[in-house]
């Protein structure tokens, strides 16, 4: 009798565990507005922007799951801050759609070997984003051209969307104006494995990937999002050459301090030069001591948190330029 009770208890615990795992991995219903960070109140522009925010939460203690819940309060708050600092660069260009997605803890993610990182990202985060994008295409997009925009983990997940969803849905890919995969590495190896994709060559081409990681000439330690074979484009001149673009050529930066905007359109602030050997964009005019990394993952001189803000108005103008070129070719 005792053995029977223990067996029933074991079955109950097992069923509850399976239910919990199932709920954790269950697909997110993107027909519900609460699963979207941003949906336009009205569709007023000819093109859309689909935005994926960077890592917006971190585990408080080691016993927490490595993937957060879709309604994690820290992620909900952090993603809104990132949206205001990054996605708004595109607000004059397109109607912005931004889904919530379950994220990996960045410290845990970046502690893994690259193959294990990819496995983690290609699990729940990529599944959520693929589902959200598919729902967006089928229910919101209505055949409009679109821009993809992401940063950091959002860009990491976006690479999966580009390599898989776009390959399987070429008619959708044909409507992509550009993918701004900023704050994570697009490598020669990735492009070789995905011949349907192409990296931008200049400021005007469309259907292309735009990517860079920003850092000072000298950094402390290693830039964990900069991979061997990374390719970068200059976010001022929008070329891949190593010719420096001066801070005076920069259309305007958003200067931040402790996540607060100090200047919404600073001039002569950030220059840019592509370093092909490093695969990064080098900024020489911003003193790393004035911008503490605020994160143990990124040492002094790694300007990861400022990839968008240094070149905010250049991104806006370039997105508008590529959009004009795309529409004129239709």
Token digits of residue 33: 């507005």
Which pLDDT value is given to residue 261? 74
- Closest C-alpha among 151, 71, 61 to residue 108: 61
How far apart CA 142 and CA 261 sit, in angstroms, is 36
Q: Is a pLDDT exceeding 60 seen at residue 12?
A: no
Count of C-beta atoms within a 10 Å radius of residue 66: 15
Which pLDDT value is given to residue 290? 85
How far apart CA 261 and CA 312 sit, in angstroms, is 12
Task: Give backbone dihedrals phi and psi of 260, rounded to 5 degrees, phi first.
Answer: -110, 145
Whole-angstrom CA distances from 247 to 105, 158, 160, 253 are 35, 30, 34, 10
Q: Is a pLDDT exceeding 60 seen at residue 3?
A: no
Non-local (6+) Cβ contacts of 141 within 8 A are 48
Which pLDDT value is given to residue 296? 67
Confidence of residue 10 (pLDDT cuts 50, 70, 90): very low
- The number of helices, as runs of H, and strands, as runs of E, in the chain is 10, 13
Domain residue spans of the chain: 32-328
- Element at 130 (helix H, strand E): helix 124-136
pLDDT in tens, 88-118: 999 999 999 999 999 999 989 988 999 999 9
Token digits of residue 70: 């879709």
Model pTM greater than 0.85?
yes
pLDDT in tens, 212-234: 999 999 999 999 999 999 999 99
Q: Tokens 């410290």 correspond to what residue?
A: 107
Confidence of residue 238 (pLDDT cuts 50, 70, 90): very high
Higher-confidence residue of 103 and 9: namely: 103
How far apart CA 42 and CA 270 sit, in angstroms, is 35
Whole-angstrom CA distances from 142 to 35, 59, 138 are 20, 38, 7
Which pLDDT value is given to residue 19? 31
Mean pLDDT, residues 268-297 taken together: 89
Q: Partners of 253 in the beta sheet?
A: 266
- Element at 53 (helix H, strand E): none
Confidence of residue 28 (pLDDT cuts 50, 70, 90): very high
Token digits of residue 298: 């990124």
How far apart CA 301 and CA 298 sit, in angstroms, is 8
Using the 8-state DSSP alphabet, how is residue 204 labeled?
Answer: S
Whether the CB-CB separation of 54 and 306 falls below 8 Å is answered with: no
């Amino acid at each position: 009798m005792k053995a029977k009770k223990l067996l029933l208890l074991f079955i109950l615990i097992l069923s509850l565990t399976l239910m919990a795992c199932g709920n954790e991995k269950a697909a997110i219903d993107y027909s519900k507005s609460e699963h979207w960070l941003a949906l336009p109140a009205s569709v007023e522009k000819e093109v859309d922007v689909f935005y994926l925010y960077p890592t917006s939460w971190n585990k408080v203690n080691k016993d927490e799951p490595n993937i957060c819940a879709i309604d994690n309060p820290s992620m909900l708050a952090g993603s809104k801050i990132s949206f205001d600092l990054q996605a708004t660069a595109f607000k004059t260009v397109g109607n912005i759609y931004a889904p919530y997605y379950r994220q990996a803890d960045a410290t845990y993610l970046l502690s893994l070997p690259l193959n294990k990182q990819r496995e983690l990202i290609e699990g729940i985060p990529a599944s959520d984003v693929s589902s959200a994008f598919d729902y967006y295409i089928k229910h919101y997009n209505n055949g409009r051209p679109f821009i993809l925009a992401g940063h950091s983990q959002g860009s990491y997940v976006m690479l999966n969307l580009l390599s898989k969803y776009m390959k399987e849905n070429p008619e959708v890919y044909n409507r992509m104006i550009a993918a701004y995969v900023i704050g994570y590495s697009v490598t020669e190896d990735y492009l070789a494995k995905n011949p349907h994709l192409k990296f931008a060559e200049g400021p005007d081409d469309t259907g292309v990937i735009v990517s860079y990681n920003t850092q000072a000439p000298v950094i402390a330690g290693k830039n964990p999002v900069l991979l061997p074979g990374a390719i970068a484009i200059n976010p001022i001149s929008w070329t891949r050459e190593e010719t420096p673009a001066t801070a005076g050529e920069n259309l305007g930066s958003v200067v931040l301090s402790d996540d607060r905007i100090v200047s919404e359109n600073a001039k002569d602030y950030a220059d840019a030069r592509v370093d092909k050997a490093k695969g990064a964009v080098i900024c020489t005019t911003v003193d790393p001591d004035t911008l503490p990394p605020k994160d143990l993952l990124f040492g002094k001189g790694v300007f990861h948190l400022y990839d968008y803000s240094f070149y905010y108005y250049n991104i806006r103008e370039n997105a508008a330029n590529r959009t004009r070129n795309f529409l004129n070719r239709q």
